[in-house]
Each structure stands twice: as C-alpha cells, then as structure tokens.
Amino acid sequence: MTQNEVTQPTLRHDWKAEEVEALFSLPFPELLFQAHSMHRQCFDPRKIQASTLLSIKTGACPEDCAYCPQSARHKTGLEVERLFDVEQVLASAKNAKDKGATRFCMGAGWRTPKEKDFVQVLDMVKAVKALGLETCITVGMLNEDQAQRLGEVGLDYYNHNLDSSPEFYKKIITTRTYQDRLDTLANIRKTDVKVCCGGIVGMGEAREDRVGLLLQLANLPTHPESVPINLLVKVKGTPLGEQSFPALPPIEFVRTIACARVMMPKSVVRLSAGREGMSEEMQAMCFFAGANSIFYGEKLLTTPNPDANEDIKLLESLGMVTEQLPGDVPQQAATTGA
C-alpha cells in the first residue's frame, strides 16, 4: 500500500460528550480495532519515537498541584535544585542522543519563568537543537511575547498539559485556572511552535473526567501535535499520595489511549509517567491501541521510569523499532500491509 492509497481521516473538533462516552463504552475488541485501524492510516505501527525528559530546575514551585512533588507546599523530601547551566543540559542531551533519543524535553518547576531564567532557557533550546535533536520544554505559563521568542529560537514543541477535565481540575489545583492553561496554549498557537498537551489519569477521577479531558483536547482549534497520557505515580507527601482510592484498571487506561487515537488520529500519543508500574503486556496493548512515543531514561523529572535497555528489549520482542517521526502532520502512513 502506498501513501497515496491511504485514506486520511477527517479531523474533528466538534466532539460531543455522549459520543466520547459511547466510544469508551464499546466492547474492548471493537474499540481496539477502530483505534488500530485509525493508527495505521496515519503512522507506521512498528515505529515508536523515543524522547528523553530532563528536569532543568527542580522543586520550590509555588503551585499546589495535588499530584506534584515539586510543589513547595508539599513535604516530600525532594531536594531543590537551581536552574542548570547550558553546559549541563548539553551534556545530558548528548547522552540521550547516544542512547537513541530523537527528542529532548526540558522541564522546570515554575509558575512562570523570570526574565533572566527565560533567557537561559532560550540558550538551552538553541544548544540542544544544534545537536540535531527535536526540542520540547515546559516552564509554566507563558505570555505572548515569551511564546514568540521561543518560536524565534526554533523550539519544536511546548508542553503544557490540561491535566484533567475542567470539573475535576478544580479538585487538584487551585493556584492556576483551567483558562490560564488554555491561554498559554493559545499564545503558543500564535507561533510556529507545536503543542504538546495531554493529562494525567488514575487520580481518582471518574470515567466522565477522562471523557472530559479528551473532549477538551480534541475540540481545540488545532489538535495537539503531541498528546502525553500520564498514569498517576503516587508520591508520599503529596495530597494524592496520601489519599486512598482504587488504582485505575489497566484495561481502562488502554481504553483512554485508544479513544485518544480515534479522536486525534494524526497526533503523536505518548506513554508518559507511570510506565514503571505497567507490565510489558499492558504497554504492548497501548502500542496496539495507538500509542507511538515513549520517554527513555530512568527518571521523568522526579518520578521513576523504565531503564532504556528494558525498553529496547521490549520493543525488540514486539518487532518494533524506535525512530524519529516526521516533524509535520499529517504523518507518513505505513507502506506495507504488515
């Protein structure tokens, strides 16, 4: 099959809650069939993009996100680290590239960056791009000027998650509104920088909140080019780490991945936090359901992540490979019938 013979799906931005609820409720084999069929229309199902995430400034964040150990309001024992210098970041980026990463992501625990720190972040982006890596950063809320300056230095992606549905969001964060997050996304969309935006599941939310999150993402004027789906990692000392609620069933997590693929067919769907607690079978099911990116490295900002060698072994056992995905959507579809 050639790319010209593949029928590209129509991108929708008018999803209704009842439609998404019906999608979630499909018999599992039917939902997986729809998601995998959609995945093959837009991507090579054998390829997984590998990214590495580095915390360039850790802790002392003034926000009160109930899941986050970086909040200054939570007593988690996290060691606070000042902003890295460019040389430190560059060394980590080179190491990540040597291990097979094609995108290098940088995160800082800020509400919004100060000017002197922001200038240093701009230098980091330029240095990492010079290595031939895709760049992604998350440094909090941005105004229009900051977004424009990131675009000028060639940033590829800006990560700013919505976290959950608007209704559940109010239960986990009080220091930043949902509209604040949407405003930052709108500022990024005024530039050439792509958007990386997803959320966290397994925080004790109901399915209707997972529906609400995907509804918000898919109904944005432009779908996020990258959609990270995080599974909560409970950290002792955070409000969610101290609460007792049932863990999200693995099948429900896979359903969330599958619905994200159906609703945002040309977006890269990334398995993010929480993979350390996922079985190989669960991850394989997520790949079949449309996830096509993972984070390499033993740590995601402050939480554990599988060793890169374990990921390589898993992908080899599945007959899959890590490869950089095309930078522009629509993505190249598979050219074989396999």
Q: Give pLDDT tens digits for 125-160.
A: 999 999 888 899 999 999 999 999 999 999 999 999
SS3 at position 317: helix
pLDDT for position 101: 77
Residue 327: which pLDDT band, with cuts at 50, 70 and 90?
Answer: very low
pLDDT, tens only, 169-194: 999 999 989 999 999 999 999 999 99
Backbone dihedral angles phi then psi of residue 48, each to the nearest 5 degrees: -125, 130
pLDDT for position 2: 43
Catalytic residues: 61, 65, 68, 105, 136, 196, 270
pLDDT for position 276: 83
pLDDT, tens only, 14-27: 999 999 999 999 99
d(CA 292, CA 320): 10
SS3 at position 35: helix
What is the mean pLDDT of the segment spanning 298-304? 47
d(CA 304, CA 317): 23
Question: What are the structure tokens assigned to 208, written together?
Answer: 């209707």
- Considering 169-173, 214-218, 275-279, the range whose residues carry the highest mean pLDDT is 214-218
This prediction's pTM: 0.85
Question: What are the structure tokens assigned to 47, written together?
Answer: 């390829």
Residue 310: which pLDDT band, with cuts at 50, 70 and 90?
Answer: confident
d(CA 91, CA 94): 5
Of 54, 76, 80, 77, residue with least CA distance to 65:
76
Of 137, 135, 102, residue with least CA distance to 118:
137
Residue 6: which pLDDT band, with cuts at 50, 70 and 90?
Answer: low
Q: Which DSSP letter does residue 43 get?
A: S
pLDDT, tens only, 94-122: 888 887 778 888 988 888 999 999 999 99
Residue 306: which pLDDT band, with cuts at 50, 70 and 90?
Answer: low
